[in-house]
Structure 1
């Protein structure tokens, strides 16, 4: 066995099935919520205290990039989960940011750079290789504000409009979370009223709306439109905000408990943020109870329903979050029925995940690049597999908890981009996970 600190930086881990997972565990702050919250804090142009900041690599990269943009970013000495972001006065050409190519969320920095430098120069974003996720809608957003956009092979440049619009209306062709957040943050730096039709209303978006309301903005939304109205006055006071608990980590842990037929209390996550995944577990016959910030999974001695699961990722309000789909896939592999899974939001994700599950013995029929079906229950056998992206990594760990023999998962640096200590949390629940020789 290795120590927790050693395990958290291991590039390869070995997993062996054992007893059902039992206990209590708390999730970290959400990476997917923290990244836009960091960018929104900079765009507001006032001092913001952000608590419950996750320690995963993508968040560390984002904070470092914000510092390179000239913003003041400090961590509390006694609590590294508390970050203070201070406004800056800058001018001239924006900095070169080669590390922005390491994460997808670097595009959230455009409004902050427009506010501080009048222009943004960024490389094309990176992150998980899960298919084409273009930025055309982002550029359409900036052009709606009068900004100029220039593209080249290395990246893109956005130049802030000389004349600020009195108000902006934008209709999105689909519910893009990235474009919705880009429009909101762009409106913030101009203090411009915004109406956005067909917005994305994911928890990450509604979290930014709540932050803006705390800063004095009018912010409301329904399925048809999102409306922002700037505050009266300068709004120069400081703000304090907590990053919400990681809904993806919570669902990953819930599926790990369920697949081992265990019982655990998962703390620190809002039940509303994981409702679609909890409904899927209940459909399969896994009892789940949700409190204000707690989810309890009671899978010991459960009678599975045998009902086939349709897990179709969706951008619609209350739809299944695409990041929940991979963990639910492993759970469904062990339950009766002919199950249908799909993720057209990340069209390359199945291409990463399905071949790795096949190495563990899973028989999954691809119906297209984004749809697949399979029959359960299936028997998995340990093998060497590779985490090609964050969700593939967490999903393979869940599979390793029930695969016969040893499962060795390589590429754990991908997992740490989104989850700093997921293997450690699973060990706290009794999982047999150790560092393995590369």
Structure 2
């Protein structure tokens, strides 16, 4: 498996273009199965998870053509309704296939999905929502079979504003007879992007971005073209990297509103964050100050930014507290940060971070996507060299991360596995 060799100490300076959002791309790709025609998706990031989704769509009978920044999906001949277990286990976002295939074919069989090891992420809310639309759910031998040849609109109240459950129910409800109302829906920008894509295909959805989404079922959907929103988590990651290295970075292809929770905290640390029509500028001229964070559903502080923020606070002046309210096991990066000299104590869902002036390079290992990139950020400010193992996790969610960092002045090398 590939590794990163990172030599710390260089402030990041220059311009970086943010890729399309992974967490918007994957459900939109799945939603293309609802349309018996060809959809074009633009601003598609070149990621491992995107390539896995392409393989899943092909196995369902779709014709997929992918190139630099785009994906063309012809779902006219989709007939398969069972997703192979090996692909389901490779990527959690494969669960989006359920709503799309149920809406298109009235039947879908999947195994329980895999993905990052950041704690249990049960799919019970997905199944509850699909069941409310009239799908018969059977769970047996590690598989889930959903059958609903005649879905009907219904009121669905989510116990938690799950992004995945909200999106899966939206996809199934598009072809259901009558009106579906999702209450306590997730408000994330990626949900709004999915709504926009589906509406371009002829769906009738309104309310995405609020806690109540209404879907009026339609009988037919049509091919369309759509550009994915910028990745707010990649943008937030580069914003933190610029600040903690005391750099000066201009981010292009960003929606400032989507990054505001991160920008607000950065301003509290003493960094300068300025947004304009040309993008976002992040500058830090001195050591950052400690701040507290608490992860919450959007528009709260993103759980996907918690590990990177903890890396930043490890070298901030003072003591910070990070509270993780979304995933119970999202502190796996802490032991690796400690290997680099970070002073972090875990107390239940809270991490107490006592900032040190410098971290030290070490050999560390990525346990999941965001933990991996947090260790990259730590390596950027560490004395000496850091070797990061298992960077395939990072390849799931960041397009050419090491190349973008090098263009900003960082010393990051990818070491290929020798065979």
Pair 1:20–1:163, CA change in 2 (3 A): closer
The worse-fitting range, judged by mean Cα deviation, of 39-48 and 64-73 is 39-48
The equivalent residue for 1:288 is 273
Task: In structure 1, list runs of 5 or more residues that go unmatched.
Answer: 1-9
Q: Hey, what's the Cα distance between the residues in 2 that align with 1:93 and 1:257?
A: 45
- 1:273-422 matches, within 5 Å, as 273-292=258-277, 294-299=279-284, 301-302=285-286, 304=288, 306=289, 308-315=290-297, 317-350=298-331, 352-368=332-348, 370-422=349-401
TM-superposed deviation, 1:222 = 6.1
With over 3 angstroms needed to count, the CA separation of the structure-2 counterparts of 1:359 and 1:191, relative to structure 1, is farther
Q: Which residue, 246, 251, 270 being the options, matches 2:255?
A: 270
Which residue does the alignment assign to 2:64?
Answer: 73
TM-score normalised according to structure 1 size: 0.90
Does the aligned pair in 1 maintain the 2:369–2:396 contact within 8 Å? yes
Instruction: Determine if contact 1:94/1:117 at 8 Å carries over to the other structure.
Output: no
Secondary structure of 2:68's aligned partner: coil
Q: What is the DSSP-based 3-state SS (H/G/I as helix, E as strand, rest coil) of the residue aligned with 1:138?
A: helix
Distance 1:384 1:318, change over 3 A: same
In 2, distance between residues paired with 1:64 and 1:436? 27
Instruction: Give how far 1:47 is off.
Output: 2.6
Change (3 A) 1:437 1:44: closer
Report deviation, 1:218: 3.6
Output one character per residue of 1:93-130: Cα deviation in whole Å (capped at 9) or x when no partner: 63545312100011100123224543211121111110
SS in 2 for 1:418: coil
Q: How far apart are the structure 2 equivalents of 1:248 and 1:286?
A: 18
Residue 226 of structure 1 aligns to a residue whose secondary structure is strand
Provide the rounded CA distance (Å) in 1 between the counterparts of 2:177 and 2:318: 53
Write out the 4+ residue segments of structure 1 that deviate beyond 6 Å after TM superposition: none
Structure-2 change in CA distance of 1:45 and 1:193 (3 Å): farther
CA RMSD in angstroms comes to 2.0
Question: Which of 193, 211, 229 matches 1:207?
Answer: 193
1:222 to 1:277, Cα distance in 2 relative to 1, 3 A? closer
Structure 2 residue 185 is matched with structure 1 residue 189 = no
How far, CA to CA, are the matches of 2:374 and 2:80 in structure 1? 45
Contact 1:249–1:422 (8 Å) recurs in 2: no
* Residue aligned with 1:394, SS: helix
Change (3 A) 1:302 1:363: closer
Distance 1:303 1:18, change over 3 A: closer
Q: How many residues align?
A: 416
**Mapped partners of 1:433, 1:90: distance in 2:** 43
Partner residue in 2 for 1:155 = 143
Note closer, same or farther for the CA distance 1:95–1:322 as it changes in structure 2 (3 Å cut). Answer: closer
Using a 3 Å threshold, how does the CA distance of structure 1 residues 437 and 297 change in structure 2: closer, same or farther? same
8 Å contact 1:44–1:188 — kept in the other structure? no
Q: Is the 8 A contact 2:234 2:398 kept in 1?
A: yes
For 1:264 and 1:92, how far apart are their aligned partners in 2?
Answer: 47
